Structure 1
C-alpha cells in the first residue's frame, strides 16, 4: 500500500474529521501497516458510523444527515481540504489539540466554532462525535457534564473568549503525558490548558503541556480556555494571602494551617491529585490561629485550597 492519502465520507457542513499525521502504531490499523511504516490517520468521523456504513443512504436515514461530500487528509502536510465551501461574514474556526501517552500513542481532538450553524454548548447531533474506541490512556471533551461519554469532536456556535471547554484525561500508565496544539484555522487568540485544581493555566500556543500524574480518571481538573485566564487580579488575590504569612504544612498525621495574623478564612478544601475533594472546612471551623486537620489518607501529594473572601491560594503538601 503506497498511497498516502485516505478519502473518507464525512457529514456536509459539519466539523471536519481529525487527521493523525504523526501516529505511532494504532491497534485499529493493525501491526502490519505499522511495520511497513505507512503514515496513518484516524478520522473522528469514524465515530458517527455503525458497523455497516457502506450504504450512505441507509446511514443517512438513521441519522437524518446527508453523507454526500468527502474530506481529504494529506498526512504529509497535515492539511485538511474540503470540497464544501460557504460564503459567510464570520468564518468557521477550528482548533486541533493532540494528546500523546507514554507509549507514544497519539490522539487528536477537534473543537469547532461554527457561527452559521444551530450548534450550542450542549450536545448537538451531527456536530459532536463520541469516541467509540477509547484506550487505557485518553483525552476527550466532556459535554453537558456527562461523564459517561467521551467526545472526540465538539462543535459549537460563534466564538467567545470567555468560553471554557472541560476536557477529561484517562491515565492508565505512569509516565509523561503530553498535550499539544496541533493546529488552528481562522483563530488568533492564545489557547491555554487550565488546571482547575491548582488554578494555573499553561499556554499551548507557546509550548506543549507535559504532565506526570498517577493513574486515574481526571474528569473535572482540566479545561481549554482562551485569552489570558491567569489575570493580574488572580495573582494579586494569591499575594494577599501570602502577605499575611499564612502557612500550610503536614505534621504528625495532621494538616496544619498556621494563621498567626488572624486572616479571616472563609473556606479550606483539600483535594487529591485526581481533583476529588476529600475534606472541606467552612468558616466556623477556621477561627483559631492554628487549625489542625486530622489526615490519615494514603501517602502522596495533596492540594490545599485556602479562601479568604475573594482571595484564593493553593498549597501543595506531601504526607
Structure 2
C-alpha cells in the first residue's frame, strides 16, 4: 500500500510539471506572436474597420501585420465568421469570411478584400475605427470596384446604397489610389461640375463649368441598380442624359472627370 501511495504522488508531480510546461510554452508562443520578445507590449500595425448597416447594426473587424502571418489563411491569426448577421461585413480570404486576419505586412501594395451582406435596401457605411502603430504617412482607401472609386477613409466614412444581397467582390481596403480616381468629401463639394434634373426637357444635365474633361456618366436607381452608363465620353462639353426609360424617384448620378468623381442625388418627377 505504501508503494502505491508513493507512485500516486509521483504521478501527480509529473502531471503538475507537464501542465506547467504546457502553460510556459503557450505563454512563450503568445509573446512571440505579439511582436514583443518579452510579451510586454504589442508594436504590430493594426487596423480596426467599422461597418454600420442600414438598421444601424455595427460590426468591427481587424487586420494585424505580423511577420509570422501570410496573405493566405493562417490558423494562428485568422478568425472565421461562422454565423454572419443579416447585415454584416467581413474580410474575404480564399472565398471564406473572417472577422480577424493576420498579414505579413501592410504596404502600398497591400490589397484586403472586403465582403458585405445585407437583407434590405439602404445606406451602409464603412469607416476606419482605429489605427495602431501605423506610420503617419499611411493612407487608407476604400475601393468600390463597381463604381471605380477610391475613397480616402481619412476623410470620413464611405457611404453606399446597396440592394439586398451579398457583395463579396466589390469592396477592398487598399493603401494607394490612382491620382485621378481618389475621391474625398472635399472633392464631392467641388462645383466645377453641376448635376441637375431638367423637368422641362426630361433630361439629366451634367454642366461642365470649368472645362475639365468628362470621361463618363453613370446613373443609379435608389436600390443600387445601374440604369445608365456611358464611360467613353471624353468631352469638355456639358452632357445631357435622356430619362424616358427611368421612372419617377430618386437617382444617384456619377460624373467621372479627369480629376475626380462628382456625385449628385437627383429627383425625377
Which bracket does the TM-score occupy, shorter chain normalised? 0.5 to 0.7
TM-score (norm 2): 0.57
Secondary structure at the aligned position of 2:214 is classed as: coil
Residue 138 in structure 1 maps to residue 68 in structure 2: no
Secondary structure at the aligned position of 1:160 is classed as: coil
How many Å separate the matches in 2 of 1:101 and 1:288? Answer: 39
Cα deviation 1:91-128 (Å, max 9, x = unaligned): 532223344557675533121212x23613xx434354
How many Å separate the matches in 2 of 1:292 and 1:104? Answer: 35
How many residue pairs match? The answer is: 230
Residue 18 of structure 2 corresponds to none
Residue 294 of structure 1 corresponds to 243
How far is the alpha carbon of 1:129 from its aligned partner?
4.1
Residues 216 and 161 of structure 1: is their aligned pair in 2 closer, same or farther, counting only changes over 3 Å? same
Aligned counterpart for 1:109 among listed residues 61, 73, 84: 61
Residue 255 of structure 1 corresponds to 204
Aligned counterpart for 1:194 among listed residues 142, 147, 155: 142
Contact 1:69 1:84 in 2 (8 A): no
Larger displacement relative to structure 2 (92-101 or 217-226):
217-226
Cα deviation 1:24-80 (Å, max 9, x = unaligned): xxxxxxxxxxxxxxxxxxxxxxxxxxxxxxxxxxxxxxxxxxxx8489xxxxxxxxx
Aligned counterpart for 2:70 among listed residues 116, 119, 131: 119
Greater Cα radius of gyration, structure 1 or 2: 2
Q: How does 1:274-293 map to 2 (within 5 A)?
A: 277-283=226-232, 290-293=239-242
Residue 252 of structure 2 corresponds to 303
Residues 274 and 166 of structure 1: is their aligned pair in 2 closer, same or farther, counting only changes over 3 Å? farther
How far is the alpha carbon of 1:139 from its aligned partner?
1.2
Contact 1:253 1:296 in 2 (8 A): no
More strand by share: 2
Residue 36 of structure 1 corresponds to none
How far is the alpha carbon of 1:163 from its aligned partner?
3.8
TM-score (norm 1): 0.50
Runs of 5+ consecutive residues of structure 2 not aligned to the other structure: 1-24
Larger displacement relative to structure 2 (300-309 or 172-181):
172-181
Residue 44 of structure 2 corresponds to 92
In angstroms, what is the RMSD of aligned CA positions? Answer: 4.9
Residues 276 and 191 of structure 1: is their aligned pair in 2 closer, same or farther, counting only changes over 3 Å? farther
How many Å separate the matches in 1 of 2:197 and 2:232? Answer: 19
Runs of 5+ consecutive residues of structure 1 not aligned to the other structure: 1-67, 72-80
